[in-house]
Amino acid sequence: MIKDNQKMLNRVHVLMDAIIIVIAYLLTYYLRFYSPLTKLHFFRVEPGTFYPVEVYAQSLLFLVPVYLFIYYFCRLYTPKRGKRRWTEILNIILANIFGIAFYFSFLYLTKEFQISRKFLGLFFSMNILFNIISRMALSYALKVARRKGYNLKHVILVGYGHAAEAYIDRIFANPQWGYYIHGILDDNMEIGTMYKKVPVIGTITHLESFLSKMSLDEIAITLSINEYEKLENIVNICEKSGVHTKFVPDYYGFIPTKPYTEDLYGLPVINIRNVPLSNTYNRIIKRLVDILGASLALLLFSIPMLLVAIIIKITSPGPVIFSQIRIGKHNKEFKMYKFRSMEVQSEKDEKKAWTTKRDPRVTGIGKFIRKTSIDELPQLFNILKGDMSLVGPRPERPFFVEKFKEEIPRYMIKHQVSPGMTGWAQINGYRGDTSIRKRIDHDLYYIENWTLGLDIKILFLTIFKGFINKNAY
């Protein structure tokens, strides 16, 4: 049902976005050529020196579908579960940057130089503004409607366990989905037991009775894994009643959110981990982007890197480049390069020690380059060598890999892909002295949901929030 709701909401979003593009485009035409803005020196335009609106409007025939495709590519039509508002706003800005860049490229290739560039700038700003306002308004309208009890979906859970608690957590965190949970049926918990205001209202044997006397939209089966022998009977009862039934497996902790399934002549087989980068085509595309991106970055940062190297050499004895053994793809060791930001120390002391706040080993220039992540720039050479990628989970030292693989569930899965200079965890604030568990959760999300668009998004966000590291000591 959530999936159906999301599809319907996506259709509304697509229609709304198409209308907004048209309105923003036509309103921009008026503002640029006919509004009081034209009296300002910067926007002044002489009558008869610009195309009529019919000519400008022709561009909408291809702009609307192109923009909608870019919005999809930038994940504006994905479920909003767990997403913060600023993330969607950044996605809107990113999508419009791609859209206006496409429009500029089209005009250049078709040698169309009479379309006002100031018009394009106004349209870019107007479209972003209208998009943000419309999505916030729709989100607010849905919340108000749910709060007033409109269009709610009435649900009962069957079985009390980790799956039931996780399901309730997500429903309560997303009131815009419009679910009302009446209670839980369970054979082991005492009637009246509460979890986040959701009570246990009976045993599983009462299921038929509740189905007959209540008008329910859904049954969510959330049995504990040790009660799965009851599953077939519960499904039969629910299907006889005609109520929509869903199954929330108690093993969601180690089955990914997007499991890859195979059909072996009618036998469903679930692959425990779906890794898009195990696909040869995806790996080749990502590698080509890495080579191109690293080469361009080296050209762009060559002078700053040279200046940093000179300052390090002048201010502190020792080598300019510091190499450290890290664990990469398929658990293979490689030497990762960084600008040296600390005093020279023995390998024995270095390999097992975290850098702490006000660490006396950090040099004067080291504090600055660590805080701004400039010390990471030599890893561009690691990328060209193939040891690393522009985007991926951050590599760790062997000592800590051995430590964390015993302490952190699913820690070693990160080594199924190449490590990166930046990653999903890093742009979400999990760098330096932060939660390893949270970092791994974000790494796993990246590994299971990789797309080229996600890589571009991470690189884009790194520019604004990934370089300055408040947790770097």
Contacts of 297 (CB under 8 A, 6+ apart): 377, 380
pLDDT mean over 346-373: 69
* Helix, coil or strand: residue 465: helix
Q: What is the pLDDT of residue 404?
A: 87
Q: How far apart are CA 380 and CA 388, in angstroms?
A: 8
Q: What is the pLDDT of residue 224?
A: 85
For 213-222, what is each residue's pLDDT tens digit? 887 888 888 8
Q: Contact at 8 Å (CB) between 244 and 218?
A: yes
Most confident of 106-115, 186-195, 427-436: 186-195
> Which H helix or E strand runs over 183?
strand 179-185
pLDDT mean over 369-386: 90
Sign, Cα dihedral of 56, 61, 63, 67: positive
> Which H helix or E strand runs over 120?
helix 117-147
Two structure tokens written together for 19: 């209308």
Pick from 92-106, 117-131, 162-176, 184-198: least confident: 162-176
Other CB atoms within a 10 A radius of the CB of residue 400 amount to: 16
Q: Which residues of 373-399 are buried (b: 16+ CB within 10 A; e: fewer)?
A: bbbbbbbbebbeeebbbbbbbbbbbee
Q: What pTM does this model have? A: 0.55
CA angle in degrees (0–180, nearest 5) for 418-424-429: 130
Q: How far apart are CA 27 and CA 151, in angstroms?
A: 35
CA angle in degrees (0–180, nearest 5) for 256-69-54: 165
DSSP classification of residue 394: P
Write down all domains in the chain, each with its CATH number in brackets. Answer: 2-147 (no CATH), 153-252 (3.40.50.720), 278-466 (no CATH)
Query: In the structure, what pLDDT confidence band is assigned to residue 293 with cuts at 50, 70 and 90?
Result: very high
SS (H, E, C) 399-450: HHHHHHHHHCCCHHHHHHCCCEEECHHHHCCCCCCCCHHHHHHHHHHHHHCC
For 223-234, what is each residue's pLDDT tens digit? 888 888 888 888
Q: How far apart are CA 463 and CA 90, in angstroms?
A: 12
Distance from the first to the final alpha carbon of the chain: 47
